[in-house]
Chains A and B, each alone.
Chain A
Amino acid sequence: MYGYSGRILHVDLTSRKTWAESKPEEWYKMYIGGVSMAARLCWENIEVGCDPLSSGNPICIGGGIFAGTPVPVGGKHGLASKSPLTDFLGDSLSGSWFSVALKRAGWDGIVVHGASDDWVHVSVDDDHVEFHDASHLLGLGTFETEEAIREELSDDQIRSSTIGKAGENLVRFANVTNDGRQAGRTGHGAVWGSKKLKSLSVRGTHDVGVAHPDELLKLCYDIVQAAQGKHTEKYRVLGTVSNVLNLNRMGLLPTRNFQQGTFEDAELVSGEYLHEHHKVKTIACAQCPIACEQMSRVTDGPYAGAMTGIEYESLFAVSSNCGVGDMKAAIKAIDICDEDGMDAMSTGVTIGWAMETFERGVFTKEDFTCEKYPEGFEANFGNGEALVTMAEMIRDREGIGDLLAEGTKRASAQVDAERGAETYKWAMHIKGLECPGYDARGLKTFALGASVVTRGACHNRTAAYDVDVKGWVDRLSIDESRGKLAKETEEYAAVYDTLPLCKFIRRCFTGKADREGAWPAIAQLINATTGWEFDYDAVDLIGERAHTIKKAFNIREGWTRADDHLPYRWQHETMKEGASAGSVVTEEELEYMKDLYYEAKGWTKEGLIPKGKLVALGMEDVAEEIGA
C-alpha cells in the first residue's frame, strides 16, 4: 500500500501497554485520514456514553494522506475525542510537522486509551514507545513544553503535541498545541489533562512511499506555483484578519457578545491596522507555501512582549465581541490562550457572556475578585485589562475563572440556577461550543449550516456562509434551496478536512474553487500518491462519508433533532443596526430549513440516518448500531 503504512498505534495509559493494529486498504479508502479517520477511530474505541473526562474516552489521531509527500498544505492531522464541551464528537485539525513525523514513524494514526495515575509524557520513536515522568513539565506553557522535551530527549527533530496550564486545569475549551499551531475548539486539552497526558511526541525516520513519484512531483509543482500567486495573496499579506472590515461593512461582525453587528472601533482591530502596527512576519504550517499566520507583537505599554499569530476568529472573539478596541490587549489575550493552550474563540465568547452578565447586573464587581485585584474589577465591555485578567483567571481556574472555564453553556446554566437569572438568553453557543465570528442572523444559509454542525457552532465544518456573503443567495431571507446548499457546503468542507488539505489552497488547482475546479485535481493527487483510481464521484463521497461517521457517533451518544439549535439571541432578538438590521432567524424558519436539510441528506424527518443509506455508503457496521 502506498501513502499509508497500514498500521494504527494503540497506547494504553492505564496499563502502559502498546500494540499495533493493522487496517485493510478498503478501510483507508473509506475513511482516508484527518477528521474522518480520527472520528472512525473514536467510533471504534470509545466506551459509548462515557464521561468525556473519563478514561473511557480515547484520544484519536488521524494522519494525513499527503503528510510527508510534496503535496502542498498536506501536513495536517485530525484529532478526535468525545468533547467535554458538547458531549458529542469533538474533531479538530492541526497543521504541523507532528503530522509529517507520524507518517515517517510508520503510523497512520494513534489511539490513546485509559488514563495515567501520574503525569506522563509519551514519546514514539518509530516502533519504540516510551512513557516518561512529566511532573517537571507541569505549569509550563505549550511552547516551553515542546522545547523542554526536545532538550530532555536530546533530539531537536522530535515533534510534540502538548497541553499547557489550561489543559492541566481541565478548562473545557483547552487546546492541544503543536509547533505553535492549535488543535482547537472542542476541548481536546481537557481530555488530555484528564488522562494526565502532558505531551505526545513523535520522531520518524522512514521514507514515505508514493505510487507515482514523478507524476506527483509534476502535479505539486504547478499547485505550489499557483499557491504563491494571486489566489492566496490575501491570506499571505493580511491574513484572515482582513475579514474584520468586510464583515463590519455587512453588519455581521459580532460585537459586545453578538448584541451588534458593527463595531465603531473596527478599524483599530482590523487586519490593516495589525499589519501596519504589530505584524512581525508571516509564518506557515508544515508543507505550506501560502503562509497565512500573522505573527504579531506588542512593543510597548503594559502588554509589551506579548507575541503570537493572529487569526480572524481569535481576534474577533477578544476584540469586537468584548467591545475592546485596543489591539494590544487583544494580542495579549490571544498570546495567553496560545501559550497556555486555550481556545481563543471560546475564551473570548465566554468572556463576552461574562461582560454582558456584569453589565446587566447579574454579576457584580465582587464576583471578579482575584489575587491581582483583591477588591474585584469592573468587567464591562471595552475593558481590555478585564479581558486579559479574565483570560488568566480562566486558565488558572481562579475565582470566577473556575465557572467560566466550564464554557458558556454550563456557566450560564449554573448562574441561572443559583441566581434566578436568564443569562441563557445571551449564552452564545450551539451544542455547547461557542459561536464563531459571523452573526448568523444576517446569513440565513449559514444559520442552518451552523445549527446542524456535528461539533457545534463552527464556521470551518460548514462553509455555508460562503453562498451568503458572495450573494449567490439572498442572505437575509430563506428559500427551499438552503437545505441542499447546507449539505453541499458541509460535505465540500469535509473533503478538505479529511485529506486533510488546508482550504486556502482551493483555488490553486485550476483557478476555480468549486467541486468542478478542485475534485478532478484532488483525485489526481490521491491516485499519484496511492495508486488508487479515484474520480470526481469518489472524491465527493469522501465528504459524505466523513460527515456521516461524525453524525453516526453523535446519534449513538444520544443526539436528537432538538440538538440542532441556534443560540436564543439569534432566534429572538432582531439585529438593530448596520447592514443586517432587522434580521433574526425565527423558530419556524430554522425548523423549515432543518426539514429541507435532513431531506437533502436522505435522512429521516427526525434527522436519523436510514440503514439503507449507511449500507449504500459501505458502512454496514454503523448501520447495525444506529441505522433508522
Chain B
Amino acid sequence: MKKFTRIYFLLFVLILLANAGKAADTILIKNGTIVPIEGGIAAGNDLLIENGKISRIGKDIPTPAGAEVIDAAGKYVYPGLVAVMTAVGVTGYPRAGNDTDEVGTATPQMDPYDAINPEDDCIEVTRIGGVTTVHTISGSRSVINGKSVILHLEGTLAEDMIAKRYVAQIFNAGATEQNKYPSTNPGIVSFLRSKLDEAKEYAKKQSEQGKKIEDKDSREGDRKDSSKRMDMEALVPVVTGKVPALFITNSEVNIRNALALIEEYKLKGIIRAGHGILKYADRIAKADIPVIWAGTESLPQRWEPHDLNYHTAAVLEEKGILFTFDSGGYGPGSRNVRDINRPAAISVAHGLPEDAALKALTINPAKIFGIDDEVGSIEKGKIANVAIWSGSPMQERSRVEAVIIKGKLIPMTSFQTRLYDKFRKIVGERKKKK
C-alpha cells in the first residue's frame, strides 16, 4: 500500500513538473516558411518561442536546452487568426442553449466575462482550426447589448483566458425586431440618443462628484451607492471616447444612422456591416472608422450583380479602410468560427489581394480592438500565438498542423476528434461482428 502511495505521489510530482514546464514552453519551430504579416519578410525559417513570447526569428537558431523542436519543413507558420463577433466561451453548455443575448432593450452592463466557460466545446474546435484569439460579444439582438472581450483560447480559468476586458460596447442600429419600443429605425436612433445623453449627463455628474470626493480626500466607497447605475457606468467610457461603440448594421439606413450618431456624440465608432457598405465607403474611409464586414456571403439584391458582396472587401481595401471579416459565430446560428477564412477566400477569388485578406484575419482585428502590440503578427516580443498550416489559410483544404497559444503547444484535439475516435472504433467493431 505504502509503496503504491509513494509511486502515486512521485507520479503526481512528475505530472506537476511536466505541467510547470508546459506553462512556459520553450519551442523552436524550424525550417518553416514564416509569414509574419507585418514587420517585413522574415529573414530565416526558424522561430523561437520563450516565456510565452516570440523571442527570435532567424536562420539556424541553436536549440536551447530542453526546448521542444517542431520541424515545419514544407509548412507555413502564420500568426494565430483573430476572429471577431464570436460567442466562443459563452456558447453555453452542450444541449442547454447559449448564454448570449440577455433580455432587455438596453443592457450595456452585460459582460461576457461573467459567463465565460473554459470548458466550452467551441474553444477547442475553434483553436485547432488556427484561430487563437477571439472577440467575444454579449449579444447582438438588443439595441444596446453589452460589453465585449478579447480572449486567447487557452486556459482553464476565465482569468487565464482573458486578454482584454471591455474592448467595445455592442449597439445594434437595426434591432427593430422587438415587440416594444423602439421597433423602427427612427425609434432606435431616438432611443440611443436618450441613452447617450443620459450617459453624458451621468458622466458629468460623476466627474463633479469625483472632484468633490477628491476635495474631501475621501475614499471612493464614501460615494452614495444608491446613485450608482450599472448601465450608465458601462456607457460612460463609451460617451467619453475611451471604449469604442461597435454598431451592428444590416442595411444602408442602419449604416447612415450609426454614422450620424458616431459623429454627433464623437464616439470611437466601429461599423459592423451586413449590407450596403459601399455607398458609405468614402465617408467611412475619411472618418477613419474601422469596418467589420459581415456581408461577403449575403445574397445580392435582385438588381445587384451576383458578386457584389463577394467583391466588397476588395473595394474596402482599395479605399484604405481598416477592416476584418465577421465570423458569424455569435448567437445560436453557428459555432463555426474556424470558418472565418471562408469569407476571406471568397473575397480573394473576387479581387482582394491575398496578403490583404490575411491581414484582415490577423493584424487588422488586433488593431481595431487595440491589441496589435500583443498579437496579430509574428514579431519579436509579441505573444506567441501561432499556427502551422500545410498551406495558405485561403485554401479550404489547408490543414492546421500545430497551434501554439501564449507559448503553449495546444493538443490538436476537440470533442469532435474524440467523437471521431469513439465512433471509428464502434463502427469498426460492429463491422467485424458481421
Task: Tell me if chain B binds chain A.
Answer: no
Q: Which residues of B contact A (CB under 8 A)?
A: none
